[in-house]
Copies of this chain bind each other. A is one copy, B any other.
Amino acid sequence: MDKPVFDYAARWQRAAALMEQQDVDALLLMKPANLAYFTGDGRPCALALLTRTLHCVVAVPACDLASIRRTSVATELRSFQSEVEMFHGFRDVLKELDLTQATIAIEKNFFDAALYEVFVAHILPKAHVVSATPIVSQLRMLKDVAEMASIKAAAKVADSGMDTVSRALRPGIREIEIAGAEFAVRKASAEGWASVTYVASGWRAAMAHGPASRKTIAPGEVVQVHLAPIVDGYTADLCRTFLVEPIATDAAKALRAYVMAQERGIAAAVPGADLMGIDGAMAASLEHEGYGDKFLRPVFHGIGIEHEEAPIPGGHAVVHGEQKVDHVMAGMVLGVGNCGIYREDYGVRVEDTIWVSEEGPVPLTCYPKLIH
Contacts and interface: CB of A to CB of B under 8 A. Distances in A.
A61 B320 CA distance: 17
Nearest to A232: B214
Of listed A81, A131, A183, residue having the most chain B CB within 10 A: A183
Contact of A63 (B63, B176, B211, B347): B347
Nearest to A181: B183
Interface in A149-203: 176-177, 179-180, 182-183, 186-187, 189-192, 196-197, 203
Contacts of A212: 186, 191-192
Interface string A109-126: 111111111100000000
A329 B236 CA distance: 45
Contact of A118 (B110, B294, B318, B340): B318
A296 interface: yes
Interface stretch (A14-22, A82-90, A93-101, A255-263): A82-90
A347 B116 CA distance: 32
Nearest to A44: B209
Given A82-B296, A176-B191, A321 B63 contact: no
Nearest to A63: B342
Contacts of A191: 176, 211-214
Nearest to A341: B63
A207 interface: yes
Contacts of A148: none
A319 B87 contact: yes
A176 B209 CA distance: 26
Contact of A319 (B60, B115, B214): B115
A222 to B, nearest CB: 13
A351 to B, nearest CB: 15
B112 A110 contact: yes
Contacts of A131: 114
A204 interface: yes
Interface bracket on A: 35 or more
Contacts of A110: 112
A187 B180 contact: yes
Contacts of A196: 192
B118 A116 contact: no
Interface string A57-87: 0001111101100100000000001111001
Given A63-B206, A82-B296, A315-B82, A215 B1 contact: yes
A344 interface: yes
A208 B340 contact: no
Interface string A297-330: 1100000000000000011101111000000000
A347 B66 CA distance: 12
A43 B110 CA distance: 20
A39 interface: no
Interface in A27-54: 43-45
Closest 5 CB pairs of A and B: A63-B342, A114-B321, A113-B116, A183-B183, A108-B114
15 contacts: A45-B208, A63-B296, A63-B342, A66-B203, A82-B297, A82-B316, A83-B319, A84-B316, A108-B117, A109-B112, A110-B112, A113-B116, A179-B192, A180-B186, A192-B212
